[in-house]
């Protein structure tokens, strides 16, 4: 029955001619109806092993979405799959990720696993990565819009481009739980997001400093990736960060390095 409903949804989504004009909330309402029909999760708390699996799956969902977004063919775009009008929801990302595991999505193992994954995420309230995902998926009352989800994806993509091969290490750490990003990349991202050559002078700096820490192995300052992403989501939703990251971001190094040295000397 679930497969029939999801297949019907895909058919409507693929065939509609106004994919770029329907409101994102309307699409999320369709998925919300799907969620409400899923069997509830067992009452037991999520175990540590289950939590780790949830975290790894969430990172895979985001990573797969970023991999595909740069390679979407025009035919796929016209059919509404990850379209350039930024109307695809987090659920399209989840389905694509589960496709890579199960091949054809619309079969019982894939549907059952997806439902169990979503219901388990809804139970977790004390992990930034899981709760932020749940807010994108409308599993919690504190919902985030599809526009915010796309800002989040663009933030991740900008960091990925700025970090180059270093992103692979960060992504592996992120899959395991906590990932730390060097502060120079955080400032380089801010330079792009706010379109400035002096990111250290932005009003966001005090809030950023509260979530940074000194590296134990070098003179670098580091920031927790999950906390940084949550901070940027808050900035975006408050209207303080209206500029989207550039398609080809520039890297700011000299000023950031000098500023980071000052922070270390001050013991921040």
> Over the stretch 128-142, which tens digit does the pLDDT of each residue have?
999 999 999 999 989
Q: Is 202 helix (H, G, I), strand (E, B) or coil?
A: coil
What are the phi and psi torsion angles at 36 (to 5°)? -65, -20
**What pLDDT is stored for residue 262 in this prediction?**
47
> Is the Cα dihedral 28, 85, 185, 170 positive or negative?
positive
What rounded mean pLDDT belongs to the chain? 78
More confident residue, 84 or 165: 165
Percent of the chain with pLDDT over 90: 45
Max intra-chain CA distance, the chain:
62
What are the phi and psi torsion angles at 9 (to 5°)? -65, -45
Rounded average pLDDT over 18-32: 63
Q: Is 253 helix (H, G, I), strand (E, B) or coil?
A: coil
**What pLDDT is stored for residue 266 in this prediction?**
39
Count other Cβ atoms within 10 Å, centred on residue 42: 11
Q: List the beta bridge partners of residue 213.
A: 222
> Is the Cα dihedral 65, 67, 23, 242 positive or negative?
positive
Specify the long-range contacts of residues 99-102, CB closer than 8 Å, at least 24 apart.
100/60, 100/64
Closest Cα to residue 131, out of 145, 116, 142, 115?
A: 142
Query: Is 44 buried (19+), middle (13-18) or exposed (0-12) by CB count in 10 A?
Result: exposed
pTM above 0.75, yes or no: yes
Taking the C-alpha atoms of residue 30 and residue 262, their distance in angstroms, rounded to an integer, is 51
Please determine, for residue 233, whether its predicted confidence score (pLDDT) is greater than 90: yes
């Amino acid at each position: 029955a679930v497969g029939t409903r999801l297949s019907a949804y895909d058919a409507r989504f693929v065939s509609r001619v106004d994919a770029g004009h329907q409101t994102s909330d309307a699409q999320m309402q369709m998925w919300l109806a799907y969620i409400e029909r899923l069997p509830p999760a067992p009452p037991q708390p999520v175990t540590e092993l289950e939590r780790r699996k949830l975290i790894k799956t969430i990172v895979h969902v985001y990573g797969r979405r970023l991999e595909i977004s740069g390679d979407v063919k025009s035919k796929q775009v016209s059919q509404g799959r990850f379209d350039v009008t930024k109307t695809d929801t987090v659920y399209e990302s989840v389905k694509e990720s589960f496709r890579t595991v199960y091949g054809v999505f619309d079969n019982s193992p894939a549907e059952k696993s997806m439902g169990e994954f979503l219901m388990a995420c809804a139970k977790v309230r004390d992990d930034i990565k899981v709760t932020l995902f749940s807010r994108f998926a409308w599993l919690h009352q504190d919902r985030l819009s599809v526009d915010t989800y796309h800002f989040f994806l663009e933030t991740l993509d900008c960091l990925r481009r700025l970090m180059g091969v270093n992103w692979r290490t960060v992504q592996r750490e992120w899959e395991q739980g906590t990932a730390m990003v060097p502060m120079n990349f955080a400032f380089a991202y801010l330079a792009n997001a706010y379109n400035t050559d002096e990111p250290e002078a932005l009003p966001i700096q005090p809030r950023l400093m509260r979530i940074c820490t000194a590296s134990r192995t070098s003179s670098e300052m580091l920031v927790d990736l999950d906390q940084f992403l949550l901070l940027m989501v808050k900035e975006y939703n408050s209207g303080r960060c209206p500029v989207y990251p550039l398609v080809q971001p520039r890297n700011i190094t000299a000023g950031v390095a000098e500023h980071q040295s000052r922070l270390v000397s001050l013991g921040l």
